[in-house]
């Protein structure tokens, strides 16, 4: 067992959180307190930014000033991430997305464009399908693992054949709500337990002497919920995609499928993206796909200007922003 043991989270805010360039606020849904930041003129179109797994709202910090020139921006910490409430045993797509239904009603209060990275893109898809009528007017899905984060997907690789082992490793050595906190176990496990194809990806999280900031603010039960499939419950992606009701922008970033094993390196395969587009189009919605094969998973983190340009051009074409 490793020597580094520490429990991070809302119970120890002084040692967990750091200051940011935007003021943080809290919205109480009745079950959870959602931490968020906002920027831009309230007269501009509302844009809700939804972080990916292991990411807090401040993952968008470099993009927010650029987006705020054209949008009224809201960036939120999902339950179990950032400063928002931990909810043991209650990390499901339905619960997490319904938090944002309440957030749009209680904080934004008007039709909203939603934009999510990775699992945040899956949540944005849920909102595009199941939010209250009129709440969501368009959805930007930034490299989301649709199908690829399911245990038994209708199309293509499953979570074990993509990034799942990384989240399983975090859950194993850190424990629900950081109840184990064996960071040395995570660092050793990257080379000793992960498939070779994922070692480089895991190292990008930051494997220094102590956990990187984004993992300190992350409840590893998220990873366990994804690996076990409990995060989705009965919310199958194929059915959800067929229920989408608004225009969708999908940016697809780096991906590669091993020809021998069929394993996926990246969030979602080309075959899976084609199925996503087919289902959304058949539901009667505009689906725009933009490919960035050399872009890392988070375009808003790697290239905030390109992210802003891509989102703004699409919203302008839809006459959602002037």
Q: Look up residue 293 and give its two tokens.
A: 């094969």
Contact status, residue 93 vs residue 231, Cβ threshold 8 Å? yes
pLDDT at 50 over 70: yes
pLDDT at 239 over 70: yes
What is the pTM assigned to this prediction?
0.97
> Which of 44-53, 141-150, 258-267, 305-314 has the lowest average pLDDT?
258-267
pLDDT of residue 3: 67
Contact at 8 Å (CB) between 73 and 67?
Answer: yes
For residues 203 and 129, the model is more confident at 129
Looking at residue 260, what is its pLDDT? 87
Write down the mean pLDDT value for the chain: 96
Confidence (pLDDT) at 204: 86
State the pLDDT confidence band at 90, using cuts at 50, 70 and 90: very high
1, pLDDT greater than 60? no
241-287 pLDDT, tens digit each: 999 999 999 999 999 999 888 999 999 999 999 999 999 999 999 99
| Residue 4 pLDDT exceeds 80 | no
Residue 55 has pLDDT above 90, yes or no: yes
Q: Give residue 98's pLDDT.
A: 98
Q: Within a 10 A sphere around the Cβ of 151, how many other Cβ atoms?
A: 15
Which token pair is 99? 């938090």
Q: What is the mean pLDDT of residues 145-174?
A: 97
pLDDT exceeds 60 at position 28: yes
What digits encode the pLDDT tens for the residues 98-125?
999 999 999 999 999 999 999 999 999 9
Tell me the pLDDT band of 297, cut-offs 50, 70 and 90.
very high
- What pLDDT score does 206 carry? 86
SS3 labels along 13-78: HHHHCCCCCCCEEEEECCCCEEEEEEECCCCCCEEEEECCCCCCHHHHCCCHHHHCCCCEEEEECC
Cβ–Cβ < 8 Å for 267, 118 = yes
Domain 19-158+234-317 has CATH 3.40.50.1000: no
């Amino acid at each position: 067992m490793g020597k580094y043991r520490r429990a991070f989270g809302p119970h120890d805010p002084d040692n967990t959180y750091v200051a940011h360039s935007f003021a943080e606020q809290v919205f109480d849904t009745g079950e959870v307190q959602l931490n968020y930041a906002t920027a831009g003129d309230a007269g501009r179109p509302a844009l809700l930014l939804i972080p990916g797994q292991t990411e807090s709202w401040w993952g968008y910090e470099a993009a927010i000033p650029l987006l705020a020139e054209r949008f009224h921006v809201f960036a939120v910490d999902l339950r179990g991430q950032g400063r928002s409430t931990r909810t043991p045993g209650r990390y499901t797509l339905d619960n997490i997305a319904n938090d944002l239904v309440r957030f749009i009603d209680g904080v934004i209060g008007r039709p909203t464009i939603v934009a999510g990275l990775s699992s945040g893109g899956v949540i944005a898809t849920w909102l595009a399908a199941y939010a209250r009528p009129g709440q969501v007017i368009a959805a930007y899905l930034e490299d989301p693992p649709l199908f690829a984060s399911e245990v038994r997907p209708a199309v293509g690789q499953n979570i074990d054949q993509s990034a799942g082992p990384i989240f399983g490793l975090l859950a194993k050595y850190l424990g629900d709500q950081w109840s184990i906190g064996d960071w040395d176990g995570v660092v050793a496990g990257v080379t000793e337990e992960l498939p070779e194809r994922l070692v480089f990806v895991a190292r990008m999280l930051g494997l220094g002497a102590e956990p990187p900031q984004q993992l300190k603010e992350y409840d590893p039960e998220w990873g366990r919920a994804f690996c076990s499939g409990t995060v989705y419950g009965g919310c199958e992606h194929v059915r959800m995609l067929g229920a989408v009701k608004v225009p969708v922008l999908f940016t697809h970033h780096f991906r590669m499928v091993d020809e021998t094993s069929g394993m996926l390196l990246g969030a979602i395969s080309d075959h899976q993206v084609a199925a996503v587009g087919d289902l959304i189009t058949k539901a009667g919605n505009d689906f725009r796909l933009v490919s960035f094969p050399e872009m890392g998973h988070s375009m808003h983190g790697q290239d905030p200007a390109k992210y802003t340009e891509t989102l703004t051009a699409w919203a302008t074409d839809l006459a959602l922003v002037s």
